[in-house]
Structures are given as C-alpha cells and as structure tokens.
Amino acid sequence: MAKQRVLIVGGGLAGLAAAMKLAELDIAVDLMSLTPVKRSHSVCAQGGINSVNDLTRQQGDTEYLHLDDTVYGGDFLQHQPPVKEMTVWGPKIIELMDRLGVTFNRTPEGFLDRRRFGGTLFKRTAFAGATTGQQLLYGLDEQVRRWETEGKVKKYEFWDFLGPVLDDNGVCRGAIGQDLTTMEMRAFPADAVIVASGGPGLIYGRSTMSMVCTGSAASRCFQAGAKFGNGEFIQVHPTAIPGADKLRLMSESARGEGGRVWVPRKPQDPRDPLTIPENERYYFLEDRYPKYKNLVPRDIATREIFDICVNEGLSVEKDRLAVYLDLTHIPRAELNRKLGGILEIYEKFQGVDPRSTPMKIFPAVHYSMGGLWVDYQKSADGGLQQGSPKNQITNIPNLYAMGECDYQYHGANRLGANSLLSCIFSGLITAPGIETLLKGSKQAASELPSSLFERAMKQQKTRHEGLLKRPAGGENPYLIHQELGDVMTKAATVVRRNDQLRDAVAKVKELHERSHKCSLSDSGVWTNQNVVFTKSLIDMFPLALTILQGALARDESRGAHYKPDFSFSALTATDPTERRRQAEAWCDNFDENNRKWLKSTIATWDGKEVKLSYEDVDTSIVTPRPRLYGLVGAEEIEKVWKERQVAKEQAAAKNGNGAAAGKPALAGAH
C-alpha cells in the first residue's frame, strides 16, 4: 500500500498540535493554511490557558471542579465525557508546553504564575504576559518545523481549502485547495482530513476575530453534508475597543489582574474619570455579583454592560456606548510585566495610555461555541477512549474537526482560557484515533482512481471561472458583506427577539440570492483576492442562516443565547412563605425548560435550506442545576433545588438504582 497521508486545514493551535502528534506517530501530514501558520488567529489569544495546578489543589481544587465550572458556565449544553478528559489532560498539556519552551510568567520562586479568569474561584490560568496564544503557537510551530525538516510535514501556506472530496459512498478522500498567489487548484488525496479552521467572525462583519476567520472552510464541509452543532451560541466578549476594520480584544486577563469595570453614577459625566470620587462611581459588576465580582462568566458581564449602556443610559460617552475598564490602581511595572501586550494595543489604536487613564470598552463578537458536529467514544471511567477513531470525527467518514470550528467543549458559553486548552487537547486526542483509522484502511487515498479528484476539481474550476466571467454592473460583494454583518449584529448578539430574528432570516435569504449576482472588480488570474472573498462570502450564508434559525427556534435563555421573553425572572416576594412558593415554581419551570431545551441543536443543509433537529446531551457526570450567578433569590432557589435532588437520590436508592443514587449531583456547586 502507498504511503498514507493526512491533510490538516488550519495552522492554529489545534492544527499544529495535531500535525505534531501525527508526525510523532510516523504519519505524513500536509498542512494547509490561508496565512503563514504564525499568523493564524490563535496568535491573537491573550489571556491564558486553564488547568488545575499545585496551588489550586491546596485550596481544594480538582479536575472534577474544573469540569464542573466548565459545564456550569456552559449551562450544561456540552457532552460531559470530552470535557472531563480535557480537564484531566489540562495539567499535562501545560507541562508539555512549558517543556517545549513556552515562556510562561513565573513567580519569584520560579513556579508558573497563575491568574483567575471568569466563572471560577480558583487561579487556574497559566499565562505568558498578555500574548499567551502567540507563545503557545510559536512553541508548537517549532516542533512542526522540526518534522518539516525530516519530511514528515509539508506546509501549504497561502492556500485556500475549497471543499472536501467525497467518494460515491460519502467517505472523505481528500480535498481541493487553491494557491492564493498563482490561483492554481490541485487535489490533495488524503486518508483523513482534519478541519481546524477557526471561527466564523466575518459573518458578523466586525468582530475580535482575524480577517481570515470567514467560517468558509466549516461551511464548505457543512454544505458537503457535515452536521453543524449549536450554531446559535455566539460569545460576545465584554471588553473590546472599536476599529474601522475590526474590533480589538482587551483580554479578560485585565480583570483577572485586578481591573475594575465601572461607570459614573451621573450619565455622561464630563469630568476626567480619575477625578471622579469613589462614592460617585458605580462598580456595577461588583455590586450585582459580590461572589465573582468582575470575573463573572462572559455572557453575564456582556449583558450587564449592555444593560448599563442601553437600558440605564449610563454610557461614559454620548456618541458611542462604552464603560470604563480601570487598571490605574495597579503598579505600572506589574501591568507591563503581566499585561504589556494588550496595553500596547490599546495605546496604539486609542492614543491613550491605559496605565494612567481608564480604558473605554464595550462588548464585541468574539467566539463561536457552535461548530461542526463531532463524535466521541466514551471510556469506562466516563472520559474518552484514547485511540478511538470516533474522537472528533464528523458524520462524514474520515473527516475530522477540531478547535473553534467544532462544537464539543463549551456548551452555551465558553469560560475564558478554556479555548486554548480545548484547541491543543482536541489536536492531541485526535491523532492516535486517526492512527487507528489508518491502520484499518486497506487502500491509500493516493491509490484511488484519479477520476474522483478530477470530478471535484472540475466543479471547483467551474465555480471559480463562472465568478470571473460575471458581467459588470452586478452586486458588490463588499457591500453585501457589510449588510450581512449589520443584520447579524443587530439580531443575533447580546439580546435576541423573535421578531428581529424572523426579519433577519428573511433579509439574509435575500442577501444570499443577491450574492449569486456579484460582479468582480478584478478578473485577473493572479493573486485575485476579489474572487477569493466572494466565494467566502457566498459560503457565509448557510452558517448565518444556521445561527439565526437556531436562535429563532430556541425559545429559552441559555448561556450566550439570551431572549428576554423566555428568561427566568428573579424572586420578588419578601414574605418567607411566598418566597418559598416562588422558588418552588422557579424550579418547576427550570425542570420543564430542561426537559425541552437541554439538547444540542443539530443543523443540516439540504442545498437550499437549513434543517434543524435536536440531540440529547450526555450529563452523566454532573447533574444539571440552575445557573444562578448573582440572581436575586438564588439562595432560596438553590435550597429548594438541593432538597429536590436529595429526595430524588433517596428515592433512587430505595428503588435500587445505585447509579443514579451515586451520581455526584451536588458536588462542585459553588
């Protein structure tokens, strides 16, 4: 049999981790990337990477509690076995990256320094200043470059993934790629294809994601038959700054190091913020969430900032919405050592030194919890079966997905610093499974009839040439993209309402039709960015409709998906008896809502429309419970819920259902 090869699409953390591990297993790798791999979007990650560590263990932390924080923060919408395995691997991954030379910050004693991120009470986050993603990416690329010199990895940088190649049985046998310099197309026969292409930020026009994050690779797999999970769950990061081209992230690490979010109690107070007395400042996150303060989960912080600016009219500026993120009370030397990367970004683009003047920030689209549906094989201990070819595979045989473009790990809301962990983990866990897959294969993809790849090439060339030959005077793809971004940002970000979502679906369908009538300003056959962008634009629409239709159908509030018309209200009664009755009713509604909506949204594409179905979530490790960060009446609700759980466990034990009785329903409830 000829030499087997694996194609990886995407050169970020997930793609490089997979490439490194596959090469170690003596599997040849082709690595395709839109950019030089060191410019992949992973380089923009700032804050850190999570794991349990020696310090937190002394405070009672465990991998189970990391799992608990992750699924609680994600509103229990992720399958728990993959999350469990990820948290167990966390300490090992950070040890590996440290050994590979990543320059993590250290304490004066030489130990890895840690910071606390949102949604947890432990300092789990290892960091390299405010450029953690860059340092991790460079560390992995050094290993991949080593394997390049030995001929195990071949990079194709400035290449675009045009779509998977499927045989007559629907099995992925490779992909078609395009050189973005010469515009040459070629087939890449592959015994497995891994898509690790990041998120779909450009669907929203401006976001904190890089300009290469179009979502087109995932969309092309989706249109080829791959399922897409939980598309409606889009994270809006609470702290970003505006820009004409994109929005720029101000990392959660700023709050993890002691940054405070506030507004003047007087609307649009014209005074210098440093001269406003403490008693005239409203530290609204600290006031409303005394336990977590400025480090509540991102969806909650985002909604509070949105509420303060839009509903309460307390924005610090008249012309744009913003609140203060204040670091001025932290010593300058400490800021430079731990946050230098983001402070330089703010100073460069805003012209103000954030060490001496509070930053002005507002939420921005940041991350997709949803992505291509992927499978897993559960192990006997409730984690993942290592070496299983099912781990991270899509419903298309031999096609895998990992990193931000899969839906596996973050549920309805991602906790900060879990993304870098999930990217590296998914890359490392997938490689042994692919090794198992290849060992069971009887024929290498390179030995398949050339007609299979020629047919796919012809389809892509026909599409490409058809766009180049469009007559002048048609639609402008860049204006259509601007309209798409405006529609998506208005309808499917912080607050969602069904009337707006219905209008958005209709508008996006109209824009989709118009996108097929685009004329190109550049019909050249060399380095034609116009045609590349137009193809990506057309491929944004299936995912945009998946996001909107998933949000429209999901009549509840869960994590980053917030519908005021379908949210649970706080307790209002002061009389103990009435308050108890309200808490009982609240828990009844919670249970009823979970029976209906504690399910993953699964989207498929029939060529013209998005079709939705739902899949039960594996909650076999941590019993779902109310997500009560700061809710008025939380203590009474939690009391009622715990009483009910104890009663259920006692009944299960009485009936001899030992598995249900032994499930750690209450453990880890903060």
Task: Quote the pLDDT of residue 303.
Answer: 97
Element (H, E) at 234: strand 234-241
Q: Does domain 5-233+369-450 have CATH number 3.30.70.100?
A: no
Domains 238-364 and 470-562 alike in fold? no
Using CA atoms, how far apart are residues 593 and 441, in angstroms rounded to an integer? 45
What's the CATH code, domain 470-562?
Answer: 1.20.58.100
Closest CA to 272 of 377, 151, 332, 358: 358
Q: What residue ranges in 23-90 does DSSP mark as E strands?
A: 28-33, 49-50
Q: Compute the average pLDDT of residues 331-344.
A: 96
> Taking the CB of residue 537, how many other CB atoms lie within 10 A of it?
22
H/E segment holding residue 161? strand 159-166
d(CA 231, CA 161): 21
Task: Write the pLDDT tens digit of every residue in 549-608.
Answer: 999 999 999 999 999 999 998 999 999 999 999 999 999 999 999 999 999 999 999 999
pLDDT at 508 over 90: yes
Give 32-79 pLDDT, tens digit per residue: 999 999 999 999 999 999 999 999 999 999 999 999 999 999 999 999
Confidence of residue 658 (pLDDT cuts 50, 70, 90): low
List residues with catalytic annotation: 298
Burial of 479 (0-12, 13-18, 19+ CB in 10 A): exposed
The model's pLDDT over 455-504, given as tens digits with 9 standing for 90+, comes to 999 999 999 999 999 988 899 999 999 999 999 999 999 999 999 999 99
pLDDT beyond 60 at 660: no
- 94 near 304, Cβ under 8 Å? no
> What is the SS3 assignment for 345?
helix
Instruction: Please indicate whether residue 660 or residue 566 has the higher confidence score (pLDDT).
Output: 566
Neighbouring residues of 403: CB distance < 8 A, sequence distance ≥ 6: 10, 12, 13, 14, 15, 196, 197, 198, 422, 423, 426, 427
Query: What residue ranges do the domains of the chain occupy?
Result: 5-233+369-450, 238-364, 470-562, 571-601+616-653
Structural domain 238-364, CATH architecture: Alpha-Beta Complex (3.90)
Give the pLDDT of residue 654: 87
Dist. CA 231–CA 364, nearest whole Å: 17
> What tens digit of pLDDT does each residue of 167-180 get?
999 999 999 999 99
- Dist CA 401 CA 82 (whole Å): 14
Across the strands, what pairs with 229? 371, 602
Q: Is 647 exposed, middle or buried (0-12, 13-18, 19+ CB in 10 A)?
A: exposed
